[in-house]
Amino acid sequence: MNVVTVFINGIEYNLKGDEQEEYLHKVASYVDKKVKSIIKNNSKLSTSSAAVLSALNVADDMLKAKEKEEQLSGRVDELEKVGKVYEDQINSLRKQLKYTEELNAEFKVKLKNSNSDGPLKEKDEKIKKLEEEIKIIKETAQKYMSENTKIAAQNKELKFQVQSGKYKIIDLQHKLEENQISLAKERKNRNALLNDGVK
């Protein structure tokens, strides 16, 4: 466990945590800036009041980050569903394309081996029709594959944003805990000063 000495609004605190010292300093710096900002805007506030308002601000930041993370998670789920639909369509088109190509190849073989199965013009039209169908299927499959690639890229970006959001929430939770610790210490110091004054 790491122990670091930090200053929040000019008061020294010893922080303990499993996190790295650099992180604990970062948390303390964040809380210090919040408290100083609140006191700067209203110099009549006591330190404990400023600490409470800072805790409210940190909690607000954390809740907003959680809400954004939930929205991003929902968007990722939607994109994964759409991606699955496109994958199914692509697989269906590939099967259809394979079947059409096999049919076309079989038809060409029959045409080559037989000169008496009907007029040549009719056979040419059938071949052209099959080739057009193959072309359309290929274009449609290409379109779906392109859209699927775009969705996969969007999904990857959203997953990254969700992960970043989770880290931000964890960071804000740590900051909120540190703020609560600093508020408890401030109250303890004030009670000690009041008790000393009563004597």
Better-predicted residue by pLDDT, 186 or 8: 8
d(CA 179, CA 160): 28
Tell me what pLDDT residue 111 has: 66
Q: Mean pLDDT across the stretch 2-7?
A: 88
The pLDDT, as a whole number, for residue 197 is 55
According to DSSP, the residues that pair with 12 across neighbouring strands are: 7
Q: Residue 182: name the closest of 70, 23, 29 by CA.
A: 29
Mean pLDDT of all residues in 53-57: 87
The Cα-based distances of 85 to 4, 76, 89, 147, 151 in angstroms read 53, 14, 6, 11, 11
CA gap 181, 133 in Å, rounded: 71
**Residue of higher predicted confidence among 186 and 133:** 133
pLDDT tens-digit map of 98-135 = 888 887 777 777 766 665 555 566 667 777 888 888 88
Task: Copy the structure tokens of residue 36.
Answer: 């100083």
